[in-house]
Amino acid sequence: MNAPPPPPTGTARRGAHAAVRHDSAVGHVTGRAVYLDDMPLPPNTLEAALVLSTHPHARLRGIDLSAALAVPGVVAAITADDIPGRNDIGPILRDEPALAAGVAEYAGHPIAAVAADTLEAAREGAARVVVDYEPLPTVLTVEEALEHKLYVAPPQIMTRGDPDAALVAAPIRLSGEVRCGGQDHFYLEGQIAIAIPGEDRDMQVYSSTQHPTEVQHGVAHLLGLPFNQVTVEVRRMGGAFGGKESQATIIAGIAAVLAAKSGRPVKLRLARDDDMLATGKRHPFLIRYDVGIDAEGRILALDMMLAADAGNIADLTPPVVTRALCHVDNCYWLPHVRVTGLACKTHKVSNTAFRGFGGPQGMLAIEALVDDVARHLRLPADTVRARNFYGVGRNNVTPYGMTVEDNIIERVTGELARAVDLPGWRAAVDAFNAKSPVVKKGLATVPVKFGISFNLPTLNQAGALVHVYTDGSVHLNHGGTEMGQGLFVKVAQVVAEAFSIDVSMIRISATSTGKVPNTSATAASSGSDLNGMAALNAAQTIRGRMAEVMAERFAVPVEEIAFDDGRVFARNESLAFGELAQLCWSRRVSLSSTGFYRTPKIHWDAATCTGRPFFYFTYGAAAAEVAIDTLTGELRVLRAELLQDCGASLNPAIDLGQIEGAFVQGMGWLTSEELWWDPSGALRTHGPSTYKIPGSRDVPPVFNARLLADAPNREATVFRSKAVGEPPLMLALSVWLAIRDAVASVGPVGAKVELDAPATPTRVLAAVERIRVCEIL
């Protein structure tokens, strides 16, 4: 298709680039927005409950369902043996079951399910299922997996130059180790699906999923059906963050098997505790590095290991590790580098997609390294960063071979520093610390360069369907899913811009595999890029047909037809958009079109870890101030200043909301959200009483987010916009680095800070005590 037009000039009409409110905003705040749990259910719908393994690794010697089936109201109960098709819902690799078959591999592994007339009866039935376990040896840590070489996928190695020789030749050589923990998605709406059996074994599934096509495929595999007999629909999710990309298939698949067995509709909604026990999370990483530098802090060589805790199966771990490797460089030129990514198998729930998809862990690794280098050399961290930034025209090729053609990181960091008076801010923090013996402040900045596109080129495609009705109203459908991020209103704005009508004329409809097939997940921050372009393609096709009718009606060249503010002009004549639609219908011209888009330029060689995996990069920078109590380890984030590159933003209001929300979510990952398994392999932080997401009082009292001005995307994206869903999460690394800075103020200059993430009070206090020992020594 042709490249999209440049951003339009300002107009009162609400199309692209207007700060339009979320299409469901009123529904969200009034409670009228319908989620799956609010849907009126068909008659005779059954409620379902899961039976979860109580052992992290055990052979299932027997599963007795008789007591469950005897509970009044229980209609059906299933195990893996009751699956009529193939017990496999793996998103990438095969043999990843919906229900454990023969062996349970984590505490919380679904091994059976019960459906009943009421939820209470289903839960009672599930509680009465008797499982005969034979405990097996368990591996619960990445270190154990490394020792035994237990992996769910082959190692990935990204290499450039000769890192071994360059390390030996480096004037200064440092090594280090850091860990970052996992994170639960803690979406407000838990996992839920409704499966409704139809004629001839057809199955209609309503699923809270980011990936309707994957749910369609998973259900079809389990039921032994072709894909065209399974239709999956989702209007909205109450949050997802990656947790409903592959995990939703488990819930929908089990509901569908129960529906097929009972011949009745089945609703399966997980309680929060079961949700957290049974479904995957962000990957914890163990990071080790060996770096060679010069006296100015320039990185000359790097050998780094990124070991991800995959959990019990591969799930999406291989591409998560790939993206982590592709973001180890962040904004920095690494002339000689080897990064090894390992997908370690443990007997815990399979970890999965989460906002950033490995990028945050890769960036944490390099930022911890840069911070260590700066402290060792007694240089400001910002100075070390600037000396290692990618150049323009030189030192501008990533370790995976992609040339950085759109580098604006110096502009972004410079604008932020000037806007917040960074030198003055630093002086104020230092002055406070000089007078405060117990409470210490820290200040840090972080730059971010984040690649946009799925690493697997095949996934970078999207479809859309647009209808124009004879009154000028428009029906829009596409393969993207709405999870609160504002995708639907953005794509509607794109279509409104194409027709030059107000966005209120666009009616958004639920995502359905029956309307747009073979979709990719709404993930990788690519929802607007892909679906917006597909919808634009469809709208431009219809607009072209309408222009031809208008040109014929008024006998002018089609090139002179102009669409503007709800009217269509042919020199001195004009028709309202709806009038032209009516005219097109009367002349038997189609007002319906599909649209399609595939991202250009991208390619990737998984064997060599080289290529151009990203269409473009987004850039951002943040500065954060924290305070820690050196006697208790408690901390507060006092101020955060964010600057994010959104290109020519499709919707500044939506984008600002995404920036603020991503930052706070990243803050939670790095400070308070600790997942803790006991020695027996049981997750003990599986509800809001023990798992601490940030609350309203944790948001910095001074919190400013800005969009980078006058920076349209250099690549031909939809109206030159840029993605925004994931990149701002990495800005929260400034908080973790600021905590390290506060800890460093307790010890001698040049002392190394040893602090893993999340920086809980316990970890902060331990880091303070360690650095105080350095001072004594």
Beta-carbon contacts of residue 640 (< 8 Å; ≥ 6 apart): 622, 623, 624, 625, 663, 700, 702, 703, 704, 734, 735
CB 98 within 8 A of CB 89: yes
The catalytic residue among 245, 625, 641, 726 is: 726
Task: Tell me the CA distances in angstroms from 672 to 284, 420, 690, one per residue in order.
Answer: 14, 27, 11
With CA atoms as reference, report the closest residue to 452 among 666, 613, 578.
Answer: 613
pLDDT of 1 reads 35
Please give the C-alpha separations between residue 104 and each of 53, 261, 269, 627, in angstroms, as whole numbers: 7, 23, 22, 44
The residues, ordered by sequence, that sit 6+ positions from 507 with a Cβ below 8 Å of its Cβ are 473, 474, 475, 476
| pLDDT for position 14 | 82
Domains 405-455+615-777 and 461-598 share a fold: yes
State the residue for tokens 């959104």.
646
Contact 570, 554 (CB under 8 A): yes
pTM across the whole model: 0.96
Question: Are β-strands 474-478 and 506-508 bridged in parallel, bridged antiparallel, or unpaired?
Answer: parallel
What is the rounded distance in angstroms from the CA atom of residue 500 to the CA atom of residue 652? Answer: 19
For the chain, what's the residue count? 777
Strand-pairing partners, residue 345, are 311
**pLDDT value of position 777:** 47
Question: Which candidate, 9, 27, 25, places its Cα nearest to that of 17?
Answer: 9
pLDDT tens string 416-427: 999 999 999 999
Joined tokens for residue 750: 């040049």
CA–CA dist 723, 745 (Å, integer): 37
CA-CA distance, 280 to 694, in Å (whole number)?
Answer: 20
Provide the pLDDT for residue 775. Answer: 58
What span, in angstroms and rounded, lies between the C-alpha atoms of 532 and 550?
A: 26
Q: Are 598 and 612 in contact (CB under 8 A)?
A: no
Asked if the 461-598 domain carries CATH number 3.30.365.10, the reply is: yes
Residue 776: what pLDDT? 52
Written out in words, the top-level CATH class of the domain with range 405-455+615-777 is alpha beta
10: Cβ contacts below 8 Å, ≥ 6 apart: 17
Nearest-angstrom CA–CA distance, 693 and 695: 6
For residue 252, what is the enclosing H or E element? Answer: helix 247-262
Q: Which residues of the chain have pLDDT under 70?
A: 1-12, 775-777
The alpha carbon dihedral of 610, 459, 466, 648 has a sign of: negative
| DSSP-derived secondary structure letter, 20 | P
In this prediction, residue 430 carries a pLDDT of: 98
Confirm whether 726 is a catalytic residue: yes
What is the rounded distance in angstroms from the CA atom of residue 190 to the CA atom of residue 340?
35
Can you give the residue ranges of every domain in the chain? 405-455+615-777, 461-598
569 phi, psi to nearest 5 deg: -110, 140
How confident is the prediction for the chain on average, in pLDDT? 96
Q: What is the pLDDT of residues 602-644, one digit of tens each?
A: 999 999 999 999 999 999 999 999 999 999 999 999 999 999 9
